[in-house]
Structure 1
Amino acid sequence: MTRTARASGRRLGRRLRQDRGSEAIQAAIVTPILITFLCLAVAAGRIVMAGGKIDAAAEDAARAASIERTHGAATSAASQAAARSLGDAGVACSSRSVSVDAGGLTVPVGQVGYVTVTVRCTVPFGDLLLPGTPGSKTMTSQFRSVVDAYRSREG
């Protein structure tokens, strides 16, 4: 072996010894970044899934309200349908509200009326333990359902 080969082998050995522990430092830097990315993905997934389920709850509530004959019964049916739909879907709302515009129930028979329901649900994110994320997000969905034109109504 030549003198140059031995010298470069020694230099390589010194360089390798100087890199000892660098993998642990890299892992310590990369791990929190990966955990943050994972938490953000979970939060985004929760927003998308909750949004779809809240849309379905508003649709169910509007349909239930449009079947009723009175404003009071429509409001009650819409609230119950939204609660049932969100409960069945597994959406945990820290606060929930259902508002009903049942003006279509007072339209004369033979004319088309509509019932509009708005569902608001506050979805919590406190369990994600991700700094900088809000504790919750209020999501709103609205759906309009047709009232049967030839069905008897209140009034």
Structure 2
Amino acid sequence: MRFTARWARRLRGDEGSAAIEAAIILPALIIFLCLAIAGGRIVTSGSKIDAAAQDAAREASIHRTAAAAQTAAQAAAAESLAGQGTTCTSTSVHINTGGLNVPAGQVGTVTATVTCTVKLSDLLLPGLPGTRTLTSTATSVVDLYRQRGE
């Protein structure tokens, strides 16, 4: 009788259950933490692309001709991305310079769209395959009374 009572008590005991619970919950918590970090890094990279687009739009808005604005905007976007440590496998900068042709005294705007393709291994984990394309658009107002291009 004593033997079966001891055996029954052992079966009902909760010794070792904490280790089993930890073995089940810990991987899920680690995966959740990794996903949170990955999301944060993608959002941070997106804000760097936003800053590059703002810099490009502002730089384009202070030039008088569309050609000069395009060249300056591309240089400003590249400088902004490099200054923030963002490495793009491909970058494109598109500028809408229609606001430079508006007569002086009227409001004109210049819009810059920056697209950057970033390797996921740079964003998340080294060796991770694939890329992510991030795009941002920013608009800058052309000075109302500034002389415009030909």
Contact kept? 1:100, 1:115, Cα under 8 Å:
yes
For structure 2, the 5+ residue unaligned runs are none
Q: Percent identity?
A: 54
Q: Which residue of 2 aligns with 1:46?
A: 41
> Aligned residues, how many?
147
Q: Which has the larger radius of gyration?
A: 1
TM-score after normalising by structure 1: 0.77
Q: Which residue of 1 aligns with 2:113?
A: 118
Q: 2:91 aligns with which of 92, 96, 108?
A: 96
Q: In structure 2, give the amino acid aligned to 1:77.
A: A
Partners of 1:151 and 1:106 lie apart in 2 by: 11
Partners of 1:134 and 1:9 lie apart in 2 by: 56
Q: 1:76 to 1:121 in 2, by over 3 A?
A: same
Partners of 2:38 and 2:119 lie apart in 1 by: 10
Q: 1:35 to 1:129 in 2, by over 3 A?
A: farther
RMSD of aligned C-alpha atoms? 3.1
Give the drift of 1:35: 4.2
Contact kept? 1:57, 1:81, Cα under 8 Å:
yes
In the alignment, structure 1 residue 9 sits paired with structure 2 residue 6: yes
Partners of 2:131 and 2:25 lie apart in 1 by: 28
**Cα deviations across residues 87-139 of structure 1 (Å, max 9, x unaligned)?**
22222222111100111111112211111100111122135459xx8722111
Give the drift of 1:147: 0.7
SS in 2 for 1:97: strand
Contact kept? 1:43, 1:125, Cα under 8 Å:
no
Matches within 5 A, 1:5-44: 7-12=4-9, 15=11, 23=19, 32-44=27-39
